[in-house]
Amino acid sequence: MKTLPVLTHPTPSLRERSVEVDPKSIGTPEFQAFLEALTETMFVEDGIGIASPQVGRNIRVFIVNHGGIGTAYINPLITKTSDATVIGEEGCLSVPGVWGMVERAKKVTVEALDRHARKVKLECKGLEAVIFQHELDHLDGILFIDKVKEFTKGKDKLKV
């Protein structure tokens, strides 16, 4: 199975807003192969999520590890967030060795297309809600280090 190189901070493309995926392209062999490679990369790198900008493709796609199954979310939108928030420790494959406390909405509603271009809607809470917010930030060129309230590990490793 093919994996893709993970870009790390401060690679400039990690700061770009990704473009929408044309739903007509989702069924193509090339796009499906990209989804497979992105999923495999997440598992090989031991991630719980990965966004396409992290492998150099600025398109609105990310993968979430749902209990050992990599699920693709294409053109995702958070349509609702709870007022209640949670603060938790986050890290990122694109910012290796750095961890920090980030405040996120406790619950989110997500709408996206799946790998078959079908509409999906999810209500997420807890860690799942955090993952969706973290990965969606990647699609907007935002890294978790932009939202850290307090670094817990590796602040000295941050490249400016």
DSSP assignments along 32-71, one per residue: HHHHHHHHHHHHHTT-SEEEGGGGT--BSEEEEEETTEEE
46 CB-contact burial (10 Å; exposed 0-12 / middle 13-18 / buried 19+): exposed
Kindly list the strands in the beta sheet with 148-153, ordered across the sheet, starting from the edge strand earlier in the chain.
Answer: 85-90, 99-105, 148-153
**135 catalytic per annotation:** yes
Catalytic residue among 20, 123, 135, 150: 135
CA geometry: angle 135, 113, 91, nearest 5 deg? 10
Active site residues: 135
